[in-house]
C-alpha cells in the first residue's frame, strides 16, 4: 500500500447523541434513539416511530455557533454540527499548502424547507416565500457546511440513496490517492421530512414498532435523521501534521445489484460484489474481519438479501455483526458516514455494539446478529455496508491504525 | 486524460441519431427550450415507459443512444450527474403532501431519487459495476467526469458511461422567474443575444458520453482534463486558474482555439464569463451556444457534445455565435461555465 488513507477526525449528530462522546455512551448503554414524532405535524404522529435528533433548529443553530436561522435548512444545520466536530478534531486548518476538499451526501437536501413553500405556491404561483425554496437543491447543505470550514479547493455532493455517504468516502480516498487533494472532509447529512416519511410509507416498509434488523418478525425500517463527517488525509500528511490517527480506510467497493429499483436481489448479488471488492482491495482475508456493521435496515427484503450475501462471503465463519440502525434509525444519505464513525468507535473502544430489539432467528439464514454489547472484542478490521435503492451497494473496511 | 468514444444526447436541438450537426438550428418561441424528444418506444418497452416520467425517459434513452454510438454493450462504470433530478416527480409528491398525506402511489417517490436513472441503466444492462450519481448544481456533470477519469486512471474501468441531465417544468420555471434570474417574457431563442430584456433563457437536456481509456475508430476527441474552482475571491483569481489549468496540461493560452462560453443572456452572469476569458485567453475565439439549449445545471453536457463534434468534423456550425477568429485547425477547446461566480468549471477537449 503506497499511499495509505487515514482518518484524523470524525463528528456525528444523531438521535442518540449530538457528538461522538454522546453517541458512544448511548451505544455502550444500549440506548436507542427511536421514538415518537415530535418535530413536525403529520398524520403519522403517534403511529409511526422515527429517530429524531432531539433538538430544534434554533438549538442546532446555537450548537453550530451560527446566526440567521432563515439561511439554513435542518439538513444543513445537522451537517454543520457534525462537520465542525470532525474538522476541529483533525485541526484541518493546521498545516500549509494543503489542498482541501469537501464531499457531502444527501438524499433530499433542503426538502424540509421546500415542504413549507409548496402548499402556498400550488394554491397561487405568486405565493410562498422564496426564502423557503432557494435551499432546495442538494448542493445547498454542502455549501453551508463549506462556509464553516474555511477555504476549499474542491466541493461536490453525491446522492445514491442510502449508500450516498459511503460513496463520498470512496471518492475522497480516490482523490487523495491520485494526488488531487491532500485532505478531505467527507460525509453526509439528511433531516427527516414529511416527503421522505410519506415516500417510504407508500412502499409499506416502515415498522410500526421500530425497526428490528435481522429478526424473523421484522416489519420494516425506521426513518432517522442525522449527519456525520470524517476527515480523511494521506498517512504522510497526518504524520507530518502530527495528528492522532483514529483508523485506516483499508478497503472499499461499489457494485450495482442491477435487479430492481427498490428491491434487493434474493441472491444478494450487489452486496456480495461490493463486500468482495472492499476486501480484495488490500487483500484483507474475510477471516480477519472482526466486526461487520451491516446495512440491516430491518426490511424483509434487505436483511434477507444482505444475510445471504454475508453467508456467501464468509461461509461458516461469519464475523460478529450488528445493525446500529436499531439505535439511530435509517439516516439515509448520512447512514454510510454515521456507521463509518460507529465503526471507528468500535475500533477505538474495542467493542462490538449490539443489534437492539433482536429476538427471533431468521428462518432462511443460519446467522444472527450480536444482541448484547461485547467488550474486549479484539477489533482490528471493521466492514461497514451501505446499500441503497437502485441497487447502489457500497462496502467500506476500516482498520486499526498500526504505524509502519 | 481519456477518449470520448461515444455521444448520446437529447436536447432542444435536432441532436438525435441521424441529425446533422446543429444545422439548421431549431427555433423555440416558448417559456423554455424544451427537448426534441425521440419516439421512446424504439428505445424503451412501452409498458415500462408508461410509468416513467419525462426526465427518466430522456436519461435512459440518451444513455442507450450513447452506447450504440460507441458500439459498447456493457460499460465498466455508470456515473451520472444532475442538478435537480426528476423535478416532475418531486413536485408530484410535494403536491400530494398538501392533500393530508393520503397518497398511495410510490412511483413518484422512487423516481424522484437522484440515482434512479443511473440505476435504471444498470438494471437494463445488467451492469453490476461501479455506479454513482453527483448532485451539485453546475458541478454535477463535472464531478461525474472527474470520477470517470479517476476510474480510468486507476485501472478500475476502461469504458465509463458518464452523463448529465436536467429537465424544466412550468412550476420550476415560475419559481426561478420569481427569483429574477430568468426572462419573464417569451422570446425567440435565436434572438437571445440581441434581446434587451434581462435574464437567462431556461432549457434542459440529457447528454451521455463513453469516456474511455482506449482510442477506437469511434473516437471523437480527447477529454484532456476537468477542473472545478469553488468560490474564487476575484475574477483575477479565476483567470489565473485558467492559465494554470492549461499549463498543467502542457498548453499556453495561445494554444486554445475556441472557448465555449458560459454566457446565458443574464447580464451579470455574462460579464463574469467575458471577463474571465478575456483576461485569461484574449486571443481565443469565443463561441456562444446557450441560445440553442437554454440554461440548466448540466448544460456542460451540451457543450461537450459541441466540442467533441467540432474536433471530429473540424467545422464550427453557423448556428453558433462566434466572436473573434478561430484558427483553421481546431485542436483545443475549453468549456467554461459558472454558477453565480461561486462554482466555476473548466473542461478541456483536445484533438
Q: Is A135 a catalytic residue?
A: no
Residue A8 Cα to chain centre, angstroms: 18
d(CA A257, CA A393): 7
Who among A126, A138, A391 is closest to B122 (CB)? Answer: A391
Name the pLDDT band for B335 (thresholds 50, 70, 90): very high
Among B230, B272, B235, B242, smallest CA distance to B334 is for B242
The burial class, CB within 10 Å (0-12 / 13-18 / 19+), for B346 is: buried
Annotated catalytic residue A162? yes
As beta bridge partners, residue B54 has: none
Q: What is the residue-wise DSSP string for A45-80? A: TTTS-BB--SS-HHHHHHHTT---GGG--HHHHHHH
B173 burial type by CB count under 10 A (0-12 exposed, 13-18 middle, 19+ buried): middle
Q: What is the pLDDT of residue B196?
A: 86
Q: Which CATH number does A5-241 carry?
A: 3.40.47.10
The Cα diameter of chain A in Å comes to 65
The number of CA neighbours under 13 Å toward the Cβ of A212 is 15
Q: With an 8 Å Cβ cutoff, is A114 touching chain B?
A: yes
Give contacts of A254 with chain B, Cβ < 8 Å.
130-132
What pLDDT is stored for residue A2 in this prediction? 63
| Residues B214-273: tens digit of each pLDDT | 999 999 999 999 999 999 999 999 999 999 999 999 999 999 999 999 999 999 999 999
Mean pLDDT score of chain B, rounded to an integer? 96
- Residue B99 is predicted with a pLDDT of 83
Determine the distance in angstroms separating the CA of B293 from the nearest CA of chain A, rounded to an integer: 21
Report the complex ipTM. 0.97
A91: annotated active-site residue:
no
- At residue A1, the pLDDT reads 46
Check A162, A211, A246, A351 and give the catalytic one. Answer: A162
Residues 6+ apart with CB under 8 A from A227: A12, A13, A14, A75, A78, A79, A81, A82, A83, A187, A188, A189, A190, A331, A334, A337, A338
Beta strand B285-288 pairing with B321-323: antiparallel
CB contact under 8 A, A118 and B175: no
Domain boundaries defined on chain A:
5-241, 252-399
Domain A252-399 has CATH 3.40.47.10: yes
B221-350: CATH topology: Peroxisomal Thiolase; Chain A, domain 1 (3.40.47)
Does B343 have pLDDT greater than 70?
yes
Residue of chain B nearest A137, judged by CA positions: B84
pTM tops 0.95:
yes
Give pLDDT, residue A62: 97
User: In which residue ranges of chain B is CATH 3.40.47.10 found?
Assistant: 2-212, 221-350
B136/A109 touch (CB, cutoff 8 Å), yes or no: no
Closest partner residue to B135 among A138, A174, A259, by Cβ? Answer: A138
Average pLDDT over residues B288-297: 98
Q: Are residues B122 and A256, on separate chains, in Cβ contact within 8 Å? A: yes
Q: Is A109 left (phi over 0), alpha (psi -120 to 50) or beta?
A: left
Residues 6+ apart with CB under 8 A from A132: A113, A114, A116, A117
Residue contact A175–B143, C-beta within 8 A = no
d(Cα B333, Cα B317) in Å, to the nearest integer?
15
Cβ partners under 8 Å of residue A255, min gap 6: A270, A273, A274, A277, A393, A394, B128, B129, B130, B131
Q: What is the mean pLDDT of residues B304-320?
A: 97
A388 interface with B at CB cutoff 8 Å: yes
Q: Mutate which of A75, A79, A149, A256 to test chain B, going by most B C-beta atoms within 10 A?
A: A256
The pLDDT score that the predictor gives to residue B98 is 85
Q: Is the distance from CB of A218 to CB of A207 less than 8 angstroms?
A: yes
Cis amide bond preceding B38, omega within 30: no
| Cα dist from B109 to A20, B59, B114, B227, whole Å | 33, 17, 10, 33
- Alpha-carbon distance of A194 to A115, in angstroms, equals 8
Q: State the nearest Cα–Cα gap between B318 and chain A, in angstroms.
A: 36
The whole-angstrom distance between residue A163's C-alpha and the CA centroid of its chain comes to: 8
**A175 at B interface, C-beta within 8 A:** yes
Residue ranges, chain A, pLDDT below 70 = 1-2
The domain made up of B2-212 has a fold known as Peroxisomal Thiolase; Chain A, domain 1 (3.40.47)
Contacts of A68 (CB under 8 A, 6+ apart): none
Greatest CA span in chain B, whole angstroms?
A: 64
Amino acid at each position: 500500500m503506497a499511499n495509505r488513507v487515514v482518518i484524523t477526525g470524525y463528528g456525528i449528530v444523531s438521535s442518540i447523541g449530538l457528538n461522538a462522546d454522546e453517541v458512544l455512551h448511548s451505544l455502550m448503554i444500549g440506548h436507542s434513539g427511536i421514538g415518537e414524532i415530535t418535530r413536525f405535524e403529520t398524520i403519522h404522529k403517534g403511529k409511526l416511530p422515527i429517530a429524531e435528533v432531539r433538538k430544534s433548529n434554533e438549538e442546532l443553530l446555537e450548537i453550530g455557533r451560527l446566526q440567521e436561522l432563515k439561511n439554513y435548512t435542518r439538513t444543513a444545520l445537522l451537517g454543520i454540527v457534525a462537520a465542525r466536530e470532525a474538522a476541529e478534531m483533525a485541526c484541518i486548518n493546521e498545516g500549509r499548502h494543503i489542498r482541501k476538499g469537501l464531499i457531502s451526501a444527501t438524499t433530499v437536501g433542503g426538502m424540509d424547507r421546500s415542504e413549507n413553500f409548496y402548499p402556498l405556491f400550488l394554491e397561487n404561483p405568486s405565493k410562498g416565500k422564496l426564502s423557503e425554496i432557494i435551499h432546495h437543491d442538494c448542493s445547498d447543505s454542502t455549501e453551508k457546511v463549506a462556509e464553516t470550514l474555511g477555504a476549499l479547493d474542491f466541493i461536490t455532493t453525491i446522492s445514491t440513496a442510502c449508500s450516498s455517504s459511503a460513496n463520498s468516502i470512496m471518492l475522497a480516498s480516490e482523490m487523495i490517492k491520485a494526488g488531487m487533494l491532500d485532505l478531505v472532509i467527507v460525509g453526509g447529512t439528511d433531516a427527516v421530512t414529511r416527503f421522505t416519511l410519506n415516500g417510504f410509507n407508500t412502499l409499506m416498509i416502515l415498522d410500526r414498532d421500530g425497526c428490528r434488523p435481522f429478526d424473523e418478525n421484522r416489519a420494516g425500517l425506521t426513518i432517522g435523521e442525522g449527519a456525520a463527517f470524517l476527515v480523511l488525509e494521506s498517512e504522510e500528511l497526518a504524520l507530518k501534521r502530527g495528528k492522532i490517527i483514529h483508523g485506516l480506510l483499508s478497503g472499499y467497493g461499489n457494485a450495482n445489484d442491477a435487479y430492481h429499483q427498490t428491491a434487493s436481489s434474493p441472491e444478494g448479488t450487489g452486496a456480495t460484489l461490493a463486500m468482495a471488492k472492499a476486501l480484495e482491495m488490500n487483500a484483507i482475508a474475510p477471516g480477519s474481519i472482526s466486526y461487520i456493521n451491516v446495512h440491516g435496515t430491518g426490511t424483509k427484503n434487505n436483511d434477507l438479501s444482505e444475510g445471504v450475501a454475508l453467508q456467501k462471503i464468509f461461509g461458516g465463519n461469519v464475523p460478529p455483526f450488528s445493525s446500529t440502525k436499531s439505535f439511530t434509525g435509517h439516516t439515509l444519505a448520512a447512514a454510510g458516514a454515521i456507521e463509518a464513525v460507529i465503526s471507528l468507535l468500535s475500533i477505538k473502544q474495542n467493542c462490538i455494539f449490539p443489534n437492539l430489539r433482536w429476538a427471533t432467528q431468521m428462518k432462511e439464514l443460519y446467522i444472527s446478529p450480536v444482541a448484547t454489547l461485547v467488550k474486549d472484542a479484539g477489533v482490528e478490521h471493521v466492514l461497514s455496508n451501505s446499500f441503497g435503492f437502485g441497487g447502489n451497494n457500497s462496502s467500506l473496511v476500516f482498520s486499526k491504525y498500526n504505524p509502519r | 486524460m481519456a477518449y470520448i468514444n461515444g455521444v448520446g444526447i437529447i436536447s432542444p436541438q435536432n441532436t438525435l441519431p441521424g441529425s446533422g450537426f446543429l444545422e439548421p438550428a431549431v427555433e423555440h418561441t416558448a417559456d423554455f427550450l424544451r427537448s426534441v424528444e425521440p419516439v421512446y418506444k424504439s428505445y424503451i418497452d412501452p409498458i415500462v415507459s408508461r410509468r416513467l416520467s419525462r426526465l427518466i425517459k430522456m436519461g435512459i434513452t440518451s444513455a442507450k443512444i450513447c452506447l450504440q454510438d460507441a458500439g459498447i454493450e456493457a460499460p465498466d462504470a455508470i456515473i451520472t450527474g444532475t442538478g435537480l433530478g426528476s423535478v416532475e416527480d418531486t413536485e408530484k409528491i410535494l403536491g400530494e403532501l398538501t392533500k393530508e398525506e393520503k397518497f398511495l402511489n410510490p412511483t413518484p417517490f422512487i423516481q424522484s431519487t437522484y440515482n434512479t436513472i443511473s440505476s435504471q441503466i444498470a438494471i437494463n444492462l445488467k451492469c453490476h459495476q461501479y455506479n454513482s450519481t453527483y448532485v451539485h448544481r453546475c458541478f454535477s456533470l463535472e464531478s461525474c467526469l472527474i470520477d470517470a477519469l479517476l476510474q480510468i486512471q486507476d485501472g478500475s474501468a476502461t469504458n465509463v458511461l458518464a452523463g448529465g441531465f436536467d429537465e424544466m417544468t412550468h412550476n420550476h420555471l415560475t419559481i426561478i422567474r420569481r427569483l429574477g434570474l430568468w426572462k419573464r417574457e417569451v422570446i425567440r431563442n435565436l434572438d437571445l443575444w440581441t434581446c434587451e430584456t434581462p435574464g437567462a433563457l431556461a432549457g434542459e437536456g440529457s447528454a451521455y458520453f463513453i469516456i474511455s481509456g482506449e482510442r477506437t475508430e469511434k473516437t471523437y476527441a480527447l477529454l484532456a482534463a476537468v477542473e472545478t474552482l469553488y468560490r474564487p475571491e476575484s475574477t483575477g483569481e479565476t483567470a489565473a486558474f485558467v492559465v494554470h489549468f492549461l499549463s498543467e496540461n502542457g498548453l499556453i493560452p495561445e494554444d486554445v482555439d475556441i472557448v465555449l462560453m458560459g454566457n446565458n443572456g443574464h447580464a451579470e452572469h455574462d460579464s463574469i464569463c467575458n471577463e474571465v476569458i478575456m483576461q485569461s485567453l484574449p486571443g481565443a475565439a469565443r463561441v456562444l451556444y446557450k441560445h440553442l439549449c437554454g440554461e440548466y445545471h448540466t448544460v456542460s453536457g451540451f457543450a461537450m457534445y459541441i466540442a467533441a463534434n467540432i474536433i471530429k468534423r473540424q467545422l464550427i456550425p453557423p448556428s453558433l455565435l462566434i466572436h473573434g477568429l478561430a484558427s483553421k485547425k481546431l485542436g483545443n477547446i475549453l468549456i467554461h461555465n459558472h454558477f453565480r461566480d461561486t462554482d466555476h468549471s473548466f473542461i478541456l477537449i483536445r484533438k
